[in-house]
Every structure is written in structure tokens, then in C-alpha cells.
Amino acid sequence: MNACRKGNKKGTTTIFLCMILSSLLLLIGIFGEAAAGIASRSYANSVFDLAGRSILSEYDRSLKSRYGIFGLLMEEDVIEARLSEYVEESFHTGYGKTRLLPLALVDVRVDLSEQVMTNPELLKQQIMDHMSYRAFFDVMHVLDALKFLDEGEEQKAISDEPEKPAIKKMRTLRNGKVIRELPSRLLQGLDGGFKSLLELPLPGEMHQIAYNELCLNLYIVKYFRHDLDKTQWNNTFFSNEVEYILCGRLSDEANHNLVYLSLLAYRTIVNAAHIYSDAQKWEAVTLAASLAGGGVATPAGQAAIAGVWAGAEAANDMKRLYDGRRVPLIKTADDWVLDLTNALDGNMNSGTESTEENEGLRYEDYLFLLLCFKDDESKLIRIMDLIQLNIKGDTNEDFSMSRCVSGFRFQSTVARKTGFPGVLSHRRGEFTGIHIY
């Protein structure tokens, strides 16, 4: 009887110890499973990050080397296939290796709609990132930027070899298919156009131009040619690219004419302001108006004569600009070239040249100022046009900004085989992320 009781006690103790051990093993399994889940998610995130970086490394080389912009020419299905391939290869351990985290890719979905490069804001952000030296302009206004631009051009002129004479081609885009595929045509309605003369700030308001806008305009004059630029550029469709960004016509000649008229009108207004503020010139205007009005200087007569004089001086200014010379933004009496008699007679060759030939702004500087008075969205859309035209014609005829993306968003499902048999043998996790340049 006593032996039987002793056997029962031993059996009870064994069962009790087995229950404790089973609980401990279950607890260890739960903690181990939780740790495996955390490790699996961290590992999968790292794999997706590496796979995304690998895909982004396949950017268009010509776009980057020529314009400093990152762009990926891939469709959604191609990116999905690449992403799946890279992730599955990372999850696969290979023969003879232990799989501590048995993961399997179930599916992956990619969305490019938010990262298409025809979005002006995406292009602007890349340009701002590329123009890293923009920090120098934190405390600068537009005239300081022009001085910086002039210094860079002078250094470039010293270092460059003498250019060979060449004939500059004035082109017109007539290919209907190419025109229809331009971003400016795909985004019709977003182009804000050129600001009217009434919207142009006065010379004293130049400092109000935003710092980011200065960087964008510096990018334009750095990477795109203009009417007086060197003729050695042979890999662009338009010769007057900056003028195209300003005016948007599909003809070099039309853009040249519109910019000429805009600058002529601007110089006329600034010159007229000088005439009204200069006592000697206004006295000459009043005398001429009196002679023309039978001894009475009417306000209308004064305005007409001042306008003719200012316009004649502006025409002379334009001739100097297109000769590669400088014209002061705000003239003084010493900078003035034509007297009133020559202006009224239409004699443009009898003026007195300015004593300070090195003072003032060049044609490129005036283009820079005009760019400051044009809305950013229009400039960015026309930058897209030029990039597409030039790369399509020079390196890749299939290039299109509407097919170019600055990144992609993905959503994926990953399955992990657990250590628990039955219903909990497989667990799934959702992964989302975005990869951008």
C-alpha cells in the first residue's frame, strides 16, 4: 500500500514537472517567435531598401550628365519585375545555407503616378538640389547674382580656346508628332505665360526676388544657350533656348523677336523715367514741345517727345546689347548716348558713347532679369520641352519626360514560415515604402 502511494507521488511530480517544462518551452517559443517576427520585418525592410536603391541606380545617364537631373525610364511592370527579382534573390539563401528567417515574397505592386517628371514641383526640387551652391545667395539679391554670373563668364572666356567661326542655325519645330509629345502640350493650361510690363518690378524692387527663383534662373542660363551664345553648341535643337523658355514659340526667330520687343519696351520705360528725372533733359523736352505746339508745351506733346527720345535711346541700347556690349540698368547723364536732336531726326549713329564701357549689364544679364519676371511653372514646363527635344535628338530617340520618373512607391506582402504547426504555420506582413532621388 505504501509502495503504491510512493509510485503515485512520483507520477504526480513527473506530470507537474512536465507541465512546467512545457509551459517554459511554450514561453520560449513565443518569445522566439516574437523575436523572429521583429527580425524578419527589419530584415525585409533592409532588403526592400537595398532593392529600391539598386533600381534607382539605373537612372538615365544622359539626363544626369547633361542637366544634373536624376530620372528613371522604366514602366511600372518593369520596376515590379526588378523589385521582385532583387527581393527574392535576397530571401533565397542558396544550397547548404541555414535559413534562420524563412521569408517568401507573395506579391509586389508599384505606383509611379506621384513621381512622374512632368510634375513641375518634382523637377524644381531636383534643380534646387543640384544647384547646391545656392547657399551663396542667402544674402544676395538679383544684381549680386548677375555680378557672380559675369565673373564666371569672364573666367570661362579666358580659359576657352578661340572658337572657330560658324553659322548659327535658326530652326523651327514642325514635326507634329514631336510637338504633340512635348510636356507643354501634355500640360496645356498650366503655362502661365509672360508677365506684362505692368507686372515688372521697378529696379529698386529687385531685392524682393526669391532666393529659390534666383537658383532656378541661374540653372537656366548655365545649361541652356541663348541668341548670343557660342556657335559651337551643336547638340541642341533650338539655338535660342533661353528665349524659348521666356516666350514658348516653336521658332528661334519668333522667340528672338519677342524677346527683342520685350527688352526694347523695358529699356524705353526705364529711359523715359530717366528723362523725367533729369532736369536738363526735361528742359530740352519742354522746349521741343513748345516749338512743336506753337509756343505752348502741352503735357501730351511733352509725353510724345519724351517717348520718342526714350525709344530712340532704347533702340541704341538694343544695338549695343546685340553687339555683345553692356548697357546700364539705370542710366545716369554720363551713360546717355543720344541727344534729343539726333533722336528726333532718327540719326542713331551720332551719339556719344558711354565713358564706362565695362559698366552695366550684357544681353545674358537682361535675359536673367526677364526670367526673374516669369512664373516658375512656365519656365519649368519649357525646360522639360528642351530636355526632351535635345535628348531625343542626340542620344535616345525614345526619351520622354512623361515616361521619366524621379522614384516610385511600392506595396508588398511577405510570408514567413513560423515554428508553430497548423493554422499559425505561416504569417504574412505588409510592407510599403517610397524610393526617390
Percent of the chain with pLDDT over 90: 50
CA 277 to the chain's CA centroid: 41
On average, the pLDDT of the chain sits at 82
Instruction: Say how far apart CA 423 and CA 429 lie, in whole Å.
Output: 16
What DSSP state is assigned to residue 112? -
- Per-residue confidence (pLDDT) for residue 211, from 0 to 100: 73
- Mean pLDDT of the region 154-163: 48
- Per-residue confidence (pLDDT) for residue 71, from 0 to 100: 96
Helix intervals (H) in 278-407:
279-292, 299-322, 340-345, 363-372, 376-394
- Would you say 322 and 228 are in contact if contact means Cβ atoms under 8 Å apart? yes
Residue 161 or residue 308, greater confidence? 308
Q: Sorting pLDDT into bands at 50, 70 and 90, what band is 152?
A: low
- Per-residue confidence (pLDDT) for residue 416, from 0 to 100: 82
Instruction: Say how far apart CA 233 and CA 252 lie, in whole Å.
Output: 15
Inform me whether the pLDDT recorded for 396 exceeds 70: yes
- Per-residue confidence (pLDDT) for residue 138, from 0 to 100: 45
pTM, to two decimals: 0.79
CB atoms within 10 A of CB 285: 25
Q: Which pLDDT tens digit goes with each residue over 45-90?
A: 999 999 999 999 999 999 999 999 999 999 999 999 999 999 998 8
- Mean pLDDT of the region 229-251: 87
Query: How does DSSP assign 184-197, residue by residue?
Result: HHHTTT----BPPG
What residues does each domain of the chain span? 2-115+406-436, 120-394
CB atoms within 10 A of CB 211: 15
Instruction: Say how far apart CA 123 and CA 127 lie, in whole Å.
Output: 6
Q: Sorting pLDDT into bands at 50, 70 and 90, what band is 159?
A: very low
Q: Sorting pLDDT into bands at 50, 70 and 90, what band is 29?
A: low
- Per-residue confidence (pLDDT) for residue 431, from 0 to 100: 94
Placement of cell 518569445 in the chain: 31
Q: Sorting pLDDT into bands at 50, 70 and 90, what band is 135?
A: very low
- The length of the chain is 437
